[in-house]
Chains A and B, each alone.
Chain A
Amino acid sequence: MMNSSRVRRPELVCPAGNPAMLKAAVEHGADAVYLGFKDATNARNFNGLNFDERSLAQAIELAHAHGCRVFLALNTYPQAEGWAHWTAAVDRAAALGVDALILADLGLLAHARERHPELRIHLSVQGSATNHEALAFYHERYGIERAVLPRVLSLEQVAQVVRQSPVAVEVFGFGGLCVMVEGRCALSAYATGQSPNCHGACSPAKFVRWDETPQGLEARLNGFLIDRYAPEEPAGYPTLCKGRFAVGGHTYYAIEEPTSLNTLELLPRLIEIGVAAIKIEGRQRSAAYVAQVTRVWREAIDAALAAPQDFSPHPQWLAALDRVSEGASHTLGAYSRPWK
């Protein structure tokens, strides 16, 4: 049974792809927001998204006025040529007073620890750390205070990591779902030359082509046919791993269905095992998405903390989340592992 005196209140960490999304998150009860600079230094490097120095300063001011913390994602892997650009971004973020940096690269971790010893560091999901020994490595060497776990562990495995981890653990609760270990996927790079690790983008829009053909609507990624839709079929964005492919004479979602993650029903258990923070995916989405998702998750976390034994997701919460989610269906992802 949950011992209420030892319950840890998980922080709700919401995406802020732009100032309007940040405002929506802050106003609807986010404990923290995460965001990035307008360039390849973060894993959501999309046109029209993210912050420059000026808008980041304003964002920090607004968030702090509401008691909301600001985490800056600098979670791509710099190459030798871009090194000075990435370290300058770390230094700029530190000077602007972000509450934490979210990093993945070993070199950047060392740089941040050495130059900004007072700065709080979180290990990005892009760091691919899935066990407490890995977390201890980053903690001992770079003083990370929190780690975001890849979306590949089951709930019991997450609990095992939390029990032995030297640092706080943040998990994804809602939004788009990577089926691969984050930081370990070069599928997009193989097809397009651009990857989450190096360019902060997966299956980038500039490589996407839609063609109306006699066989149906075709979605291509740099020439590769990712999917083909019958006239009445809803067409989704051709993220490489969510296409239909032919394997052994069958055409199906060979890697992953185009569903998104929703762990609302696991909330009491996530609280019980002691996760420090629940992260909402979707910096590439809209202010309306952030408002809706933040509001629902705020209510749900508060309800689960107040009366964990009575908690069940309200139908209106689920309906609200369904209206904004990508794809028609939700999954508990790796946490429940129906495929296991």
Chain B
Amino acid sequence: MNPLSFELVLAPIPYFWPRGRVLSFYEAIAEAPVDAVVLGETVCARRAELRLPDWIALGRDLAAAGKRVVLAGYALIESESHLKWVRRLVEQDEFAVEANEMGTVRLLAAAGRRDWIAGASLNVYNPHALAQLHEAGARRWLPPPELSRAALAHLLEGFTALEQGTIETELPVWGPLALAHSARCFTARHYRLQKDACEFRCLAHPAGLPLATREGADFLVLNGVQVLSARPWSLIDRLDEATALAQALRLVPAPEGTLERIAALDRARRLGEMPAPEPESCNGFWYGESGFAYRAPSSSPLAAR
């Protein structure tokens, strides 16, 4: 296979890791062949091992190491104090911002910023919705997890036809799917604790709390107020399809294996060396099927029927 061209982006850490672990993780990332790093806490406002000035300081270190840095906002704003935090995020103009809910979008648009990224939870399913965010200043966007390859291709064709300029597409290629978000904390619930007195139990679960069915089948992962898929989403064996649609590919940090996957993706773009399929992953949404499903690369759509 020929070398591929794409920007490699590292998503925010979805889990709650202790400060030391976060800092040493990004020390390693500074040396790794990723082009851009999205920093910040997006899941739970109670998680504050690093505060905004810490993330900005970390961003400066990574920028000095040659990375493009983006600061991500919360996916759920519940109160005025959360909004204050978002205002500070928008006021800093050192780094671009990834918006994960519409209040953040409004503040970015009102500030006249044209450099922000529309996160996957903004629910862009059609070209007209994308045009709205583009007009509000988004320069890049991420599709929601459910959007199939065919629907994404159709959306992008439609957006081009609207002749409203260009927008970059960033596509997740590895990591657990963010399936649901709540105000209720499922980790605190597991420990029979109240959310406001959760004792930060997420710190003990660097990859979240696995949830299985009553017959022991791995199903989901509880990550505080968020529910993730147990199987990681992977287009690692579909990079040709992914790069045909997206300029940037994103992977989600995990407690293990992140650097190895970064290296594999980098070899794919430099050398055209394709990473090995991961049959324990899922890619059903890519085919418009149940998300948990996995199709091996050799299977054509016809063969899988």
Contact = CB atoms under 8 A, between A and B. Distances in A.
Contacts of A153: 78, 183
A205 to B, nearest CB: 16
A62 interface: no
A7 interface: no
B97 to A, nearest CB: 14
Nearest to A163: B80
B214 A251 contact: yes
A255 B227 CA distance: 9
Interface stretch (A124-132, A280-288, A297-305): A124-132
Contacts of B104: 133
Contacts of A248: 190, 209
Interface in B138-171: 144-147, 151, 154-155, 157-158
**B interface, how many residues as a size bin?**
35 or more
* Main SS at interface, chain B: mixed
Interface in A189-217: 189-193, 195, 197-198
B127 A334 contact: no
Interface residues of A, number: 70
B76 interface: yes
Contacts of A197: 123, 125, 144, 146
Interface in A148-176: 152-154, 157, 160
Contacts of B121: 128, 184
B216 A254 contact: no
A83 B101 CA distance: 23
Interface stretch (B59-67, B174-182, B235-243, B256-264): B174-182
A80 interface: yes
6 contacts: A134-B102, A179-B184, A225-B215, A225-B217, A227-B214, A247-B190
Interface of A: 77-81, 83, 104-111, 127-134, 136-138, 140-141, 152-154, 157, 160, 179-181, 183-187, 189-193, 195, 197-198, 222, 224-228, 241, 244-248, 250-251, 254-256, 334, 337-340
Interface of B: 75-80, 82-83, 86, 101-107, 109, 121, 123-133, 136, 144-147, 151, 154-155, 157-158, 177, 179-186, 188-190, 194-196, 209-217, 219-220, 222, 227, 229, 284-285, 288-292
